[in-house]
Protein backbone atom coordinates (compact mmCIF):
# COMPACT_ATOMS: atom_id res chain seq x y z
CA UNK A 1 0.00 0.00 0.00
CA UNK A 2 2.79 2.44 -0.88
CA UNK A 3 0.19 4.78 -2.39
CA UNK A 4 -1.11 5.51 1.11
CA UNK A 5 2.14 6.93 2.48
CA UNK A 6 1.80 10.54 3.63
CA UNK A 7 -1.93 10.68 2.95
CA UNK A 8 -4.14 12.31 5.58
CA UNK A 9 -6.80 10.10 7.11
CA UNK A 10 -9.56 10.91 9.60
CA UNK A 11 -10.94 7.98 11.60
CA UNK A 12 -14.06 8.73 13.62
CA UNK A 13 -14.72 6.65 16.71
CA UNK A 14 -11.01 5.91 16.63
CA UNK A 15 -10.30 5.37 20.32
CA UNK A 16 -11.46 1.77 20.60
CA UNK A 17 -12.81 -1.26 18.76
CA UNK A 18 -12.84 -1.16 14.97
CA UNK A 19 -11.82 2.49 14.97
CA UNK A 20 -8.67 1.85 16.98
CA UNK A 21 -7.77 -1.04 14.69
CA UNK A 22 -8.17 1.31 11.72
CA UNK A 23 -6.02 3.99 13.35
CA UNK A 24 -3.26 1.42 13.90
CA UNK A 25 -3.49 -0.03 10.39
CA UNK A 26 -3.36 3.31 8.60
CA UNK A 27 -0.55 4.51 10.87
CA UNK A 28 1.46 1.37 10.04
CA UNK A 29 1.41 2.14 6.30
CA UNK A 30 2.73 5.68 6.79
CA UNK A 31 -0.37 7.86 6.67
CA UNK A 32 -1.02 10.88 8.85
CA UNK A 33 -3.92 9.79 11.05
CA UNK A 34 -6.43 11.95 12.89
CA UNK A 35 -8.18 9.94 15.59
CA UNK A 36 -11.54 11.49 16.43
CA UNK A 37 -13.52 10.42 19.49
CA UNK A 38 -14.90 11.52 22.85
CA UNK A 39 -13.02 8.90 24.88
CA UNK A 40 -10.07 11.03 25.92
CA UNK A 41 -8.23 8.50 28.06
CA UNK A 42 -8.46 5.59 25.61
CA UNK A 43 -7.53 7.81 22.67
CA UNK A 44 -4.53 9.31 24.49
CA UNK A 45 -3.20 5.85 25.34
CA UNK A 46 -3.61 4.66 21.74
CA UNK A 47 -1.99 7.74 20.23
CA UNK A 48 0.91 7.82 22.70
CA UNK A 49 1.80 4.23 21.89
CA UNK A 50 1.73 4.80 18.14
CA UNK A 51 3.69 8.05 18.32
CA UNK A 52 6.32 6.27 20.42
CA UNK A 53 6.66 3.81 17.54
CA UNK A 54 7.29 6.65 15.12
CA UNK A 55 3.80 6.93 13.66
CA UNK A 56 2.13 10.23 12.84
CA UNK A 57 -1.12 10.15 14.80
CA UNK A 58 -2.98 12.78 16.75
CA UNK A 59 -6.22 12.87 18.73
CA UNK A 60 -8.94 15.41 18.23
CA UNK A 61 -11.97 15.48 20.53
CA UNK A 62 -14.99 15.68 18.21
CA UNK A 63 -18.67 14.96 18.75
CA UNK A 64 -19.77 13.75 15.30
CA UNK A 65 -23.42 14.47 16.12
CA UNK A 66 -22.61 18.20 16.33
CA UNK A 67 -22.40 19.51 12.77
CA UNK A 68 -20.75 22.81 13.72
CA UNK A 69 -18.09 20.98 15.71
CA UNK A 70 -17.48 18.59 12.82
CA UNK A 71 -17.18 21.42 10.29
CA UNK A 72 -14.70 23.24 12.52
CA UNK A 73 -12.61 20.11 13.12
CA UNK A 74 -12.53 19.14 9.45
CA UNK A 75 -11.45 22.65 8.48
CA UNK A 76 -8.70 22.43 11.10
CA UNK A 77 -7.50 19.12 9.61
CA UNK A 78 -7.20 20.71 6.17
CA UNK A 79 -5.42 23.73 7.62
CA UNK A 80 -3.02 21.70 9.77
CA UNK A 81 -2.10 19.12 7.13
CA UNK A 82 -2.84 20.92 3.88
CA UNK A 83 -5.13 18.15 2.62
CA UNK A 84 -7.63 15.42 3.46
CA UNK A 85 -7.46 12.17 1.52
CA UNK A 86 -9.55 9.62 3.42
CA UNK A 87 -12.47 9.62 5.85
CA UNK A 88 -13.21 6.41 7.74
CA UNK A 89 -16.72 7.21 8.95
CA UNK A 90 -16.72 4.66 11.77
CA UNK A 91 -18.20 6.27 14.90
CA UNK A 92 -21.28 4.52 16.25
CA UNK A 93 -23.16 3.59 19.41
CA UNK A 94 -25.85 1.13 20.51
CA UNK A 95 -28.83 1.69 22.79
CA UNK A 96 -30.69 -1.59 22.38
CA UNK A 97 -34.31 -2.32 23.19
CA UNK A 98 -37.25 -4.07 21.59
CA UNK A 99 -39.85 -2.04 19.73
CA UNK A 100 -42.30 -2.26 22.63
CA UNK A 101 -39.74 -1.11 25.19
CA UNK A 102 -37.54 1.38 23.35
CA UNK A 103 -37.70 4.94 24.66
CA UNK A 104 -37.48 8.05 22.49
CA UNK A 105 -34.07 9.03 23.83
CA UNK A 106 -32.64 5.59 23.01
CA UNK A 107 -33.81 5.94 19.43
CA UNK A 108 -32.72 9.56 19.06
CA UNK A 109 -29.21 9.07 20.48
CA UNK A 110 -28.41 6.30 18.01
CA UNK A 111 -29.85 8.24 15.07
CA UNK A 112 -27.84 11.33 16.07
CA UNK A 113 -24.49 9.52 16.18
CA UNK A 114 -24.82 6.66 13.70
CA UNK A 115 -26.75 8.44 10.94
CA UNK A 116 -26.58 12.20 11.45
CA UNK A 117 -22.95 11.84 12.56
CA UNK A 118 -22.04 9.95 9.40
CA UNK A 119 -23.83 12.61 7.35
CA UNK A 120 -22.08 15.46 9.17
CA UNK A 121 -18.62 13.99 8.69
CA UNK A 122 -19.26 12.91 5.12
CA UNK A 123 -20.52 16.34 4.10
CA UNK A 124 -17.61 18.17 5.75
CA UNK A 125 -15.03 15.81 4.24
CA UNK A 126 -16.62 15.90 0.79
CA UNK A 127 -16.36 19.68 0.61
CA UNK A 128 -12.59 19.46 1.06
CA UNK A 129 -12.12 16.44 -1.20
CA UNK A 130 -14.20 17.83 -4.06
CA UNK A 131 -12.18 21.06 -3.99
CA UNK A 132 -9.03 18.93 -4.49
CA UNK A 133 -10.68 16.60 -7.01
CA UNK A 134 -9.81 13.42 -5.12
CA UNK A 135 -10.56 11.45 -1.99
CA UNK A 136 -12.15 8.35 -0.53
CA UNK A 137 -14.90 8.00 2.04
CA UNK A 138 -15.53 4.65 3.72
CA UNK A 139 -18.69 4.40 5.81
CA UNK A 140 -19.22 1.73 8.45
CA UNK A 141 -22.50 -0.14 8.13
CA UNK A 142 -23.21 -3.62 9.52
CA UNK A 143 -24.53 -6.98 8.39
CA UNK A 144 -27.57 -6.31 10.58
CA UNK A 145 -28.57 -3.65 8.05
CA UNK A 146 -29.01 -6.48 5.55
CA UNK A 147 -31.04 -8.91 7.65
CA UNK A 148 -32.14 -7.10 10.86
CA UNK A 149 -31.40 -7.94 14.48
CA UNK A 150 -33.68 -8.50 17.48
CA UNK A 151 -33.89 -5.49 19.78
CA UNK A 152 -32.06 -3.09 17.47
CA UNK A 153 -34.67 -1.08 15.56
CA UNK A 154 -32.64 2.09 16.02
CA UNK A 155 -29.21 0.62 15.22
CA UNK A 156 -30.42 -1.36 12.20
CA UNK A 157 -32.25 1.69 10.84
CA UNK A 158 -29.06 3.75 11.02
CA UNK A 159 -26.87 1.10 9.43
CA UNK A 160 -29.37 0.60 6.61
CA UNK A 161 -29.47 4.36 6.21
CA UNK A 162 -25.68 4.44 5.94
CA UNK A 163 -25.88 2.03 2.99
CA UNK A 164 -28.43 4.29 1.31
CA UNK A 165 -26.33 7.41 1.85
CA UNK A 166 -23.23 5.59 0.58
CA UNK A 167 -24.92 4.86 -2.72
CA UNK A 168 -26.26 8.40 -3.07
CA UNK A 169 -22.87 9.94 -2.32
CA UNK A 170 -21.14 7.57 -4.74
CA UNK A 171 -23.44 8.81 -7.50
CA UNK A 172 -23.00 12.46 -6.57
CA UNK A 173 -19.27 12.53 -5.86
CA UNK A 174 -17.84 9.95 -8.24
CA UNK A 175 -17.80 12.42 -11.13
CA UNK A 176 -15.89 14.82 -8.87
CA UNK A 177 -13.06 12.37 -8.15
CA UNK A 178 -14.30 11.15 -4.76
CA UNK A 179 -15.12 7.48 -4.20
CA UNK A 180 -17.60 6.40 -1.51
CA UNK A 181 -18.01 2.85 -0.26
CA UNK A 182 -19.21 1.04 2.86
CA UNK A 183 -18.03 -1.91 4.92
CA UNK A 184 -20.57 -4.14 6.64
CA UNK A 185 -18.81 -6.02 9.45
CA UNK A 186 -20.22 -9.21 10.93
CA UNK A 187 -19.55 -10.40 14.47
CA UNK A 188 -16.12 -9.04 15.36
CA UNK A 189 -14.02 -9.78 18.44
CA UNK A 190 -13.78 -6.21 19.72
CA UNK A 191 -13.16 -5.46 23.38
CA UNK A 192 -16.90 -5.27 23.98
CA UNK A 193 -17.58 -8.67 22.41
CA UNK A 194 -14.61 -10.27 24.16
CA UNK A 195 -16.13 -9.21 27.48
CA UNK A 196 -19.30 -11.19 26.77
CA UNK A 197 -19.78 -14.66 28.29
CA UNK A 198 -18.02 -17.42 26.35
CA UNK A 199 -21.35 -19.11 25.61
CA UNK A 200 -22.58 -16.00 23.80
CA UNK A 201 -19.34 -15.61 21.85
CA UNK A 202 -19.47 -19.25 20.79
CA UNK A 203 -23.06 -18.86 19.63
CA UNK A 204 -22.10 -15.79 17.59
CA UNK A 205 -19.15 -17.58 16.01
CA UNK A 206 -21.22 -20.60 15.04
CA UNK A 207 -23.61 -18.45 12.99
CA UNK A 208 -20.93 -17.82 10.35
CA UNK A 209 -19.81 -20.54 7.90
CA UNK A 210 -16.19 -19.88 8.92
CA UNK A 211 -17.15 -20.77 12.51
CA UNK A 212 -15.26 -17.93 14.17
CA UNK A 213 -15.49 -14.28 15.05
CA UNK A 214 -13.74 -11.76 12.86
CA UNK A 215 -10.74 -9.81 14.10
CA UNK A 216 -10.79 -5.99 14.24
CA UNK A 217 -7.70 -5.96 12.03
CA UNK A 218 -9.63 -7.75 9.30
CA UNK A 219 -12.11 -4.88 9.17
CA UNK A 220 -9.26 -2.37 9.22
CA UNK A 221 -7.75 -4.16 6.21
CA UNK A 222 -11.05 -3.73 4.36
CA UNK A 223 -11.06 -0.03 5.19
CA UNK A 224 -7.49 0.28 3.96
CA UNK A 225 -8.21 -1.55 0.71
CA UNK A 226 -11.22 0.60 -0.14
CA UNK A 227 -9.26 3.75 0.68
CA UNK A 228 -6.29 2.78 -1.49
CA UNK A 229 -5.61 3.02 -5.21
CA UNK A 230 -6.10 -0.76 -5.41
CA UNK A 231 -9.81 0.04 -5.18
CA UNK A 232 -9.62 2.92 -7.67
CA UNK A 233 -12.64 1.72 -9.70
CA UNK A 234 -14.75 0.61 -6.74
CA UNK A 235 -17.49 3.11 -5.95
CA UNK A 236 -20.85 2.70 -4.27
CA UNK A 237 -20.27 -0.84 -3.05
CA UNK A 238 -21.05 -2.44 0.31
CA UNK A 239 -18.33 -4.91 1.28
CA UNK A 240 -19.57 -7.53 3.75
CA UNK A 241 -16.73 -8.73 5.97
CA UNK A 242 -18.58 -11.34 7.98
CA UNK A 243 -17.18 -14.81 7.35
CA UNK A 244 -20.19 -15.61 5.17
CA UNK A 245 -22.77 -14.76 7.84
CA UNK A 246 -25.22 -13.30 5.32
CA UNK A 247 -25.21 -16.33 3.01
**What residues are labeled active site?**
155
Do 110 and 60 form a contact (C-beta atoms < 8 A)? no
SS (H, E, C) 125-180: HHHHHHHHCCEEEEEECCCHHHHCCCCEHHHHHHHHHHHHHHHHHHHHHHHHCEEE
Do 147 and 208 form a contact (C-beta atoms < 8 A)? no
Measured CA to CA, the distance from residue 201 to residue 199 in angstroms comes to: 6
Measured CA to CA, the distance from residue 33 to residue 141 in angstroms comes to: 21
Return the exposure string of 121-149: e unless at least 16 CB atoms fall within 10 Å of the residue's CB, then b.
Answer: bbebbbebbbeeeebbbbbbbbbbbbeee
Residues 6+ apart with CB under 8 A from 107: 95, 153, 154
Amino acid sequence: MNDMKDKVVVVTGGAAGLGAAAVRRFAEVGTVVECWDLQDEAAAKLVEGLVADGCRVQYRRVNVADSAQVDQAMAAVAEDHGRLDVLINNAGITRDGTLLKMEDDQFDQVIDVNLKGVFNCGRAAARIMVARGSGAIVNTSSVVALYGNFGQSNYVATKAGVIGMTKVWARELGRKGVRVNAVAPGFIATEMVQAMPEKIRTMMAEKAPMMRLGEPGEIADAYLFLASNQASFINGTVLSVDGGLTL
